Copies of this chain bind each other. A is one copy, B any other.
């Protein structure tokens, strides 16, 4: 946990007894009752909870609970084991995040640094409670910036002809650092299905358009040609279909007839960085559940 900072240490101290529980399962009576009984019996107090059930005939139930419990480190194994029997009963997808275990994040970057910078500063300001374990880039451009934060920077040149070798090196590093979350901060290289499969629902990308408008390459140029009055940015999980993964967050910014393609790129950077930072923050706070090709953001 070399790269955590002082603000994060304070946060950990304050929240070391807290745990987040995420659940999704087919809806049926008794789910909440069973879970709250479970928590009560394990002397856990609910700090915050959100619940939502889809409005279909056979609905799906989604829950996010933050609970606090003394000496939680000693109870982790027991909590997980005991919860599994509830999970079996209701056919749940679930995970528990113990807050004293900071998630480990890798950022993939390229030449354009605005998103990388935003993440590093949000992190330094104590707004991203994660261990940014390393940055991998196919350009040397960001090295000085990254290393000034005390974070390891790994330069791995990449292009489509050497994709497999590149990904092998990347995966080795991800394994070495035990990475939970990968953030593509304008990385601009396509990942193979094989790579994506290694981190399901754990790779977050930022696309520089308001998807599904201007899917693919050169969205700002096409936005300019179409004469739109707003341009957007979209953060989504990476799946095998380019720019088609579940959307986590989107935003737009106003443009007008005076703006050139280059102006759109500049304005776009303002929302790309804030949209990506919000999406990453929510992921780190275990607020996002994926259901079919969509997200529930609690």
Contact = CB atoms under 8 A, between A and B. Distances in A.
A257 B297 contact: yes
B45 A52 contact: no
Interface string A249-264: 1111000111010000
A141 to B, nearest CB: 12
Interface residues of A, number: 64
Nearest to A247: B227
Interface of A: 27-33, 35-37, 39-40, 43, 45-53, 55, 114, 117, 121, 125-127, 144, 148, 210-214, 225-230, 232, 246-252, 256-258, 260, 266, 269-270, 274, 291, 293-297
Given A49-B49, A51-B49, A212 B214 contact: yes
B295 A257 contact: yes
Given A211-B213, A212-B213, A270-B274, 7 more contacts: A27-B45, A32-B40, A46-B53, A114-B121, A210-B210, A210-B213, A211-B228
A103 B228 CA distance: 27
A247 B266 contact: no
Contacts of A249: 229
23 contacts: A31-B46, A33-B37, A33-B40, A37-B37, A48-B53, A48-B258, A49-B49, A50-B50, A52-B257, A114-B121, A117-B121, A125-B266, A127-B266, A144-B148, A210-B213, A211-B228, A227-B294, A227-B295, A229-B248, A229-B249, A252-B252, A257-B291, A270-B274
A248 B39 CA distance: 33
A148 B143 CA distance: 13
